Amino acid sequence: MRFVPLAVAGLTALVLTACTAGKEAAPSLGAQPKPSGSASQALPAATLELWHGFATDAEAKAFEDSIAAFSKKFPQITVKTKKGVQDDQITAAIRGGKAPDVAASFTTDSVAQWCKSGAFQDLTPVIKQDGIDLSVLPEASRTYTEFEGKRCMMPLLADAYGMYYNRALMKGSEPPKTLSELTELTKKLTVRDANGDIKVAGFIPSAQYYENSPSHLGPMVGAKWYNDDGTSAIGSDPAWKQLLTWQKELVDWYGYDKLEKFRKGLGDEWGAEHPFFKGKVAMILDGEWRNAMIANDPKAKGLDYGTAPLPVADDKPDLYGSGFTAGTVIGVSKGAKNPQQAWELIKHLTTDTDSLVTLSNALRNVPTTKAAMESPNLAKDDNFKTFLDIFSHPKTSTLPANVNSVFNQDAFSTFMASWEKGQVKDLDAGLKEVDKRIDDKMKLSGG
């Protein structure tokens, strides 16, 4: 029996050593004295590890090109990149003590948790130290990169959402400016066969269609997600009801089953068979990156299309020109081996005009600073310029960082799917139920 306590002691020692392994404290950002003089160049030599989500070779190369200018400026700093990295991989690496120095994410959904938990370091001290004026960024971009006063991320490139329309299918009609005009034009442009099956849709109102998520549609009616006290505003903000009522009327006009049959036959959003490329849908809600996809697709290259801001609620004409924005975010992870050098790289990528313009020209995403947007070197045709204007519109909004960001969007999207299917009899009660689900989860998460 004396072996039992011995075994327990041994196991405990093993568990404790396993738990504490790799917990050696890494230098934190701003803790190290900054080299004097101009001399960020005087930073000690280091090899930085940067993880990002760009997956294709062309995207990764564009990002490498942008980093090349940094490497010229800081020859003593080598940057090693890893492409195609997702949020959960970043989180796992930071937890496991194998964090990269710098990590970039395509979505803003994890920002609140990363800031709150300290998974990414607060950049505020070094931003102040280096005198960076954050007002060069639109308010929306500032909003989705910070949480509760902690700025743990910087916006790298942004996405802005607007409307694409097929000129041939529009038959001379101008893009709609209000939801009523959108409804009217949709009815006019939709083509059905003898059975009533949809052959060409004017606009697909389904929230399950590609980019028609509640966060992308919400700015059309100026809807807000959260109250000032942090609770869900979905049930109390009449704008959501206005949006859902408009959406349901249009779904019902198509006939839910007919619309679903058509939608399900459309295939992959990211492939060459995109219905907008194939002339199956006259108007779509999409991000600025669709311009590049059209330009790079041999079959879609010749597509005669235009872009415009999304139509807005009839009673809120001042919203016209605005839209939804979010984008790629980048920060210094907890446990970064070279935080000071990592910050220099982030500063270069997110505030250096030439770097942003190079990256934007290559990836066809919206550059985030005003200087980059106004740069003469920024390639901007009319279709792309629409999105630059949407991004810089004062009423353009985003999904504010929230500890339950994924859950909240998921809860609302699911509700919208039930609503358009006709499964919700009382819209007000249904929206209140969404509020309750979100608030209950928020309480659990300590939000």
Partner 1 sequence: MASRAHAAPPSRWRRSEGLRALVWLSPWLVGISIFFVYPLVATVYFSFHRYDLFTLEFIGLDNWRYLFKDDRVWTSIQNTLWLVVFMVPAQLIFALGVAQLITRLKSGLGLIRTIVYLPSLVPMVAGTVAFVFLMNPSTGPWNQLLALVGITGPDWFGNPAWSKPSLTLLAMWSCGNMIVIFMAALLDVPKHLYEAASIDGANAWRQFRSVTLPMISPVLLFSTITAVIYALQYFTQAMIASRVASGSTDSAGSVFTPGYPDQSLLTLPQWLFHAGFRDFSMGYACVMALLLFAAAMLFTTVLLRRFRYAEEVS
Binding site for partner 1 (CB under 8 A): 3, 7, 11, 14-15, 18, 88, 91, 94-95, 106-110, 113, 116-119, 159, 161, 208, 210-211, 213, 215-216, 260-261, 264-270, 287, 324, 326-328, 398-399, 403-407, 409-410, 413-414, 417-418, 421, 437, 440-441, 444-446
> Do the Cβ atoms of 147 and 123 come closer than 8 Å?
no
Q: Which C-beta is closer to partner 1: that of 40 or that of 339?
A: 339
| Dist. CA 50–CA 331, nearest whole Å | 10
Q: Which is nearer to partner 1, 166 or 398 (CB)?
A: 398
Going by C-beta distance under 8 Å and a sequence separation of 6 or more, which residues neighbour residue 45? Answer: 76, 77
CB 445, min distance to partner 1, A: 6
- Half-sphere exposure (CA, 13 Å, Cβ side) for 110? 22
SS3 (DSSP) at 120: strand
Angstrom distance (rounded) from CA 26 to CA 336 = 7
* Comparison of 74 and 120: residue with beta carbon closer to partner 1: 120
CA-based R_g, the chain, Å:
24
Tokens representing 179 are 């939801």
Residue 358 Cβ, how far from partner 1 at the closest point, in Å?
A: 21
Structure tokens of 234?
Answer: 């979905």
Which residue lies nearer to partner 1 by CB, 190 or 212? 212
Pick the closer one to partner 1 by CB: 109 or 237. 109
For residue 133, the 8-state DSSP code is: -
Task: Tell me whether residue 2 or residue 72 sits nearer to partner 1 (CB atom).
Answer: 2
Question: Minimum distance between the CB of residue 86 and partner 1, rounded to whole angstroms?
Answer: 9
State the number of CA atoms in the 13 A half-sphere of 17 facing the CB.
5
In whole angstroms, the minimum distance from the beta carbon of 41 to partner 1 comes to 34
Residue 155 or residue 339: which is nearer to partner 1 going by CB? 155
**Shortest distance (Å) from residue 260 CB to partner 1:** 8
Cα dihedral 28, 52, 48, 133 in deg (nearest 10): -60
What is the DSSP secondary structure assignment for residue 42, as one 8-state letter? G
What is the nearest approach in angstroms of partner 1 to the Cβ of residue 43? 28
Q: How far is the CB of 338 from partner 1 (least distance, A)?
A: 21
Token pair of 327, please? Answer: 């984008």
Please list the residues that pair with 285 across neighbouring strands. Answer: 163
Nearer to partner 1, 43 or 281 (CB): 281
Smallest distance, Å, CB 317 to partner 1?
24
> Could you tell me if 199 and 429 are in contact, meaning their C-beta atoms sit under 8 angstroms apart?
no
With b for 16 or more beta-carbon neighbours within 10 A and e for fewer, the 144-178 pattern comes to bbbbeebbbbbbbbbbbbbbbbbeebbeebebbbb
Q: What's the min distance (Å) between Cβ of 329 and partner 1?
A: 10
Report the alpha-carbon distance of residue 37 to residue 44 in Å, rounded: 14
User: Which token pair is 258?
Assistant: 């007919």
Closer of 216 and 364 to partner 1 (Cβ): 216
Alpha helices in 191-322 (DSSP H): 214-217, 238-254, 256-264, 290-296
User: Residue 181 phi/psi, 5° resolution?
Assistant: -65, -35
Give 323 or 341: the residue with its C-beta nearer to partner 1.
323
What region does 263 belong to: left with phi over 0, alpha with psi -120 to 50, or beta?
A: alpha
CA-based nearest residue to 394, from 327, 321, 294, 303: 321
Q: Cα 94 vs. chain centroid, distance in angstroms?
A: 21
**Tokens coding 114:** 């990363």
Is 17 or 36 the residue whose CB approaches partner 1 more closely?
17
